[in-house]
Amino acid sequence: MKIGCPTEIKPQEFRVGVTPAAAAEAVAHGHEVIVQSGAGTGAGFEDAVYTAAGARIADSAEAIFAEADMIVKVKEPQAVERGMLREGQILFTYLHLAPDPDQTHDLIASGATCIAYETVTDDRGGLPLLAPMSEVAGKLAPQMGAWTLQKANGGRGVLMGGVPGVLPARVAVIGGGVVGTHAARVAAGMGADVTVLDRSLPRLKALDDMFRGEFKTLYASQSNTAEQVRAADMVVGAVLIPGAAAPKLVSRADLSDMKPGAVLVDVAIDQGGCFETSRATTHQDPVYDVDGIMHYCVANMPGAVARTSTLALGNATLPFMLAIADKGWQQACLDDPNLLNGLNVHAGKLTYFAVGRALGIDV
């Protein structure tokens, strides 16, 4: 199979869909890999690294879309890319179709077979191609929050780990899933006094079993959450209700009860945010102040560490990419119901029920 990897064209996207290591494995499986010149530069992979891995470099996205049987990307195809997709071609990337009717209609019209990273599942009901980005965002959250806590950056001037004789920062992590667990581990590793709140008792039990004493766990009742937010130097918002907007757990009125210069890191901003005063920000201008409380609300946090994110995503996508290339998408999906769950569009039809329900399109 010919696997094509174009340069990402969405603004501020530095990741790349196929790593040199993945290209080398695909070549070893007898496939041809075509990478657009410069596609890996943002993640630190120059063309020569791909050439050494056995890939071929193409000058343009047009050349790749024209030749490849399967396009492997990171972000959803932009309008110009959708115009280049053709009938029978496979597209393997993040799509996030539910809030995006224009993209959905274009993909249906293209006749391509579109497999979305975000709906591929694993045997435990997890989302293995979303998890690596949650891990990255979770580990980044305390790092960005710690920077924001510094006085010159608008924060309270509190050091995460304290020093001998001075208490560490208090960190409340709301949501103990993938993001929250990784955020808690890093914050605790920096020496902060960390409490993780979740509404799932089984999840809190699992965290308690796994991380004995590394951080505290607390049931996320409204009163417990409000109390932890009031006492915190940093709050990490890491909740997710699948298929729904994030619940608003801190109101504007609550900000006046918080410590001046405290920091809210709203990782759930890509689902609308879990603080009433959150609005999406960018890596260029990540932080703003509301009533003396600093807000960090970058919607694509993994982009800040494009190299790590590319490698983490590449590790997760590789087995699926190889299965599709080795067997063809039909057989690969027949063999693996988890991959089949990724199928969102095929041959002019929407095939994913939740997207159809969200957009009012027959599936």
Q: Tell me which H or E stretch contains 51.
A: helix 47-52
Q: Is 96 one of the catalytic residues?
A: yes
Q: Which residue's CB is nearer to ligand NAD, number 161 or number 288? A: 288
77 touches ligand NAD (CB under 6 A): no
Set 47, 69, 96, 208: catalytic member? 96
Strand order through the sheet with 70-72: 56-58, 32-36, 2-5, 70-72, 90-93, 113-116, 343-346, 349-350
Q: Binding residue for ligand NAD (CB under 6 A) from 58, 85, 137, 250? A: 137
120 touches ligand NAD (CB under 6 A): no
* Joined tokens for residue 121: 């599942």
247 touches ligand NAD (CB under 6 A): yes
Q: Which residue's CB is nearer to ligand NAD, number 52 or number 280? A: 280
- Nearest distance from residue 243's CB to ligand NAD, in Å? 11
Q: Binding residue for ligand NAD (CB under 6 A) from 71, 238, 262, 322? A: 238
Q: Which residue's CB is nearer to ligand NAD, number 164 or number 202? A: 202
Q: Write each residue from 175 to 214 as x if it is in contact with ligand NAD (CB under 6 A), else as -, in one continuous string.
A: xxxxxx----------------xxxx--x-----------
The residue range among 69-77, 237-245, 331-339, 351-359 that interacts with ligand NAD, by the rule CB under 6 A, is: 237-245
- Nearest distance from residue 154's CB to ligand NAD, in Å? 20
Q: Which residue's CB is nearer to ligand NAD, number 174 or number 333? A: 174
Beta strands in the chain (DSSP E): 2-5, 32-36, 56-58, 70-72, 90-93, 113-116, 170-174, 193-198, 216-219, 234-237, 263-266, 287-290, 293-296, 343-346, 349-350
Interface of this chain with ligand NAD, residues 260 to 319, rule: CB under 6 A: 267-271, 299-302
* Joined tokens for residue 274: 């879990």
Q: Is 346 one of the catalytic residues?
A: no
DSSP per-residue letters across 251-317: -HHHHTTSPTT-EEEEGGGGGT-SBTT---B-SSS-EEEETTEEEE-BTTGGGGGHHHHHHHHHHHH
Whole-angstrom Cα distance, residue 81 to residue 58?
Answer: 16
Whole-angstrom Cα distance, residue 105 to residue 145?
Answer: 39
Q: Which residue's CB is nearer to ligand NAD, number 221 or number 330? A: 221
SS3 for 85-114 is CCCCCEEEECCCCCCCHHHHHHHHHHCCEE
Q: Which residue's CB is nearer to ligand NAD, number 198 or number 233? A: 198
Contact residues for ligand NAD, defined by CB under 6 A: 133-134, 137, 174-180, 197-200, 203, 220, 238-241, 246-247, 249, 267-271, 299-302
Which amino acids are annotated catalytic?
96, 270
